[in-house]
Chains A and B, each alone.
With several copies, the nearest count.
Chain A
C-alpha cells in the first residue's frame, strides 16, 4: 500500500523496513514521522477529523505529484485519524531515490502539501477544553517554495 488512511496505530520501524524492501536500486531513503507533542501536560489528546470520500484520493494525488517532480523510486504515506494520545504517531512519509537530494526534497514537499492540501483537521483536547488547531500562515507560505 502506497497510501494508507487509518485510525489504528502503525509501527514506524516495520513500515520503514517494508518500504526499504519494496524498492530496488535506492541509494537514499528519507522518512518523516509526525507525533502528537506532549506540550507539558496542556494536551490530553488530539482528535483528527478527515473527509473519508476525499482523503485517500487527495493524498494519492500529492504522492503522484511528488513521484513526477523528483526522480523517486518510491513514496509511501500513512496518515491516521481519530483520537490520539501525546507521543503517538500521527503520520509518516517515506521516499526512496538514487540520490539523497531527491529523497529529501520530495519528503519535504509531501509534508508541506499534506499539511495544507489533504483534508485533515486537528483538534487539541486539554484539561481546560478543546480547540481546533488554526492553520499557520507559514504552512501556506511553505507551498510557495515548490
Chain B
C-alpha cells in the first residue's frame, strides 16, 4: 500500500490530493503506468512526463527510481517557489 500525493495542476487534473494504491510496481515508471489506467484524468495528467517531478518519502527522486520500501510517492510539476 502506497500513499500517492498530487500537487498543483496534477492535483487539479486528477481531482484528488491523495489516494491509497495497492500496487506491486517496483519503480516509479511502473507505478505511473498503473495510475494511467485508473481514469482518463490520470492518463491526461501523466501524458507528458517531462512536465512531472516525483518525490519518494519526501525526497526528490528520478522518474525511474525504485519503489522498494516506499510509503509515500508524490507527483507534481517543476517547482516554482522563491
Contact = CB atoms under 8 A, between A and B. Distances in A.
Given A51-B7, A118-B79, A119-B7, 12 more contacts: A51-B5, A51-B55, A51-B74, A54-B58, A79-B82, A91-B81, A115-B80, A119-B55, A119-B81, A121-B76, A121-B80, A134-B80
B74 A115 contact: no
Interface residues of B, number: 18
Given A49-B8, A123-B8, A111 B79 contact: no
Main secondary structure of the interface of A (DSSP, over half): mixed
Interface of B: 5, 7-9, 11, 55, 58-60, 72, 74, 76-82
Nearest to A120: B81
Given A51-B5, A53-B58, A111 B82 contact: yes
A119 B79 contact: yes
A123 B77 CA distance: 12
Among the interface residues B9, B59, B78, which one has the most CB atoms of the partner chain A within 10 A? B78
A117 interface: yes
Closest 3 CB pairs of A and B: A120-B81, A135-B78, A121-B8
